[in-house]
Amino acid sequence: MTRVALSMAIAAALGAVVAAALHADPAVPGWLAAIAFLALATAAGGLARALDAPADLHEERHPLGPSQPAALPPGALTRRGLFGNMWAYAAGAFGVLALVPFVALARRRAPRGTAWSPGARVVNADGTALKADDIDVGGVTTVFPEGNVGAPESATLLIRLEEGLLRPQPGRAGWAPAGNVAYSKICTHAGCPVALYRHASYQLYCPCHQSVFDVLDAARPLSGPATRALPQLALDVDAAGYLIARGDFSEPVGPDEWDRPV
């Protein structure tokens, strides 16, 4: 019984590590750890009972003179053996359980990329490639990388500004050819689509919780619960005059929670 409980403790501890590595529901490694502790407690109880001699136990007196200790039958448990097993299994189970948080953290997901890549043409919802002057000044449209129309994480707002109005961040000069500036359409607060643009104030509005972003200043949040700017997509113009991406967004799109372990 004691050996079974010790084996169960090790198995449950290993299961907890595997569950953490497979990114299972956090409750699963928790329950397996609880089973490991319960099995260890059961083993300790069994060991205590094995060592507890009955009150009326007595032995015949050995005859005087030199004598050899009786040989134990094969496989019999001795006190030394029981204690040795107990400590080894307990140390093993606790050691394995200590790995669970490290394994869970190592499984933290890398920030997700989108379908935007260097040279990807900017297309509208119909799949039509857009040139730098296809949108009127003050206009806005939702665009995608060519070949990935409808990909949710790649949804981008393309806004045409009067040239020279944008206040580019350091290192972002030239990201908005002919006044075409592009920001992720996914709100950084909770992931709703940012749907409204007011050209009079150069502001984007998220309808879910009313976050407001400053289009002229790298889509910095001005009010509302969002605390992070909308990631910007660096644009360029290819030899045929079509808008293309220089790469993926400047930062991971969407709320920070999307890149945390669940």
Residue 244 within binding range of ligand FES, rule CB under 6 A: no
Paired with 182 in beta bridges are: 158, 233
Residue 92 within binding range of ligand FES, rule CB under 6 A: no
Cβ nearer to ligand FES, comparing 154 with 211:
211
Residue 227 within binding range of ligand FES, rule CB under 6 A: no
Which of 30, 113, 177, 225 touches ligand FES (CB under 6 A)? 225
Task: Report how many residues bind ligand FES under the rule CB under 6 A.
Answer: 11
Which residue do the tokens 């394994």 mark?
103
Interacting span for ligand FES (CB under 6 A) from 33-41, 56-64, 77-85, 207-215:
207-215
Which of 168, 177, 224, 247 touches ligand FES (CB under 6 A)? 224
Residue 211 within binding range of ligand FES, rule CB under 6 A: yes
Which of 152, 209, 238, 261 touches ligand FES (CB under 6 A)? 209
Helix (H) and strand (E) counts in the chain: 4, 11
d(CA 46, CA 116): 62
Sign of CA dihedral 160, 164, 170, 172: positive
d(CA 261, CA 108): 5
Compute the least distance from the CB of residue 189 to ligand FES, in Å. 3
**Residue 217 vs residues 4, 192, 235: alpha-carbon distances, Å:** 66, 21, 16
d(CA 87, CA 195): 62
Residues near 221 by beta carbon (within 8 Å), at least 6 away in sequence: 188, 211, 212, 213, 214, 227, 228, 229
Cβ nearer to ligand FES, comparing 2 with 211:
211
Which of 206, 243, 244, 245 touches ligand FES (CB under 6 A)? 206
Residue 82 within binding range of ligand FES, rule CB under 6 A: no
Phi, psi of 221 (to 5 degrees): -70, 130
Cβ nearer to ligand FES, comparing 89 with 205:
205
Residues that bind ligand FES (CB under 6 A): 187, 189-190, 192, 206, 208-209, 211, 224-226
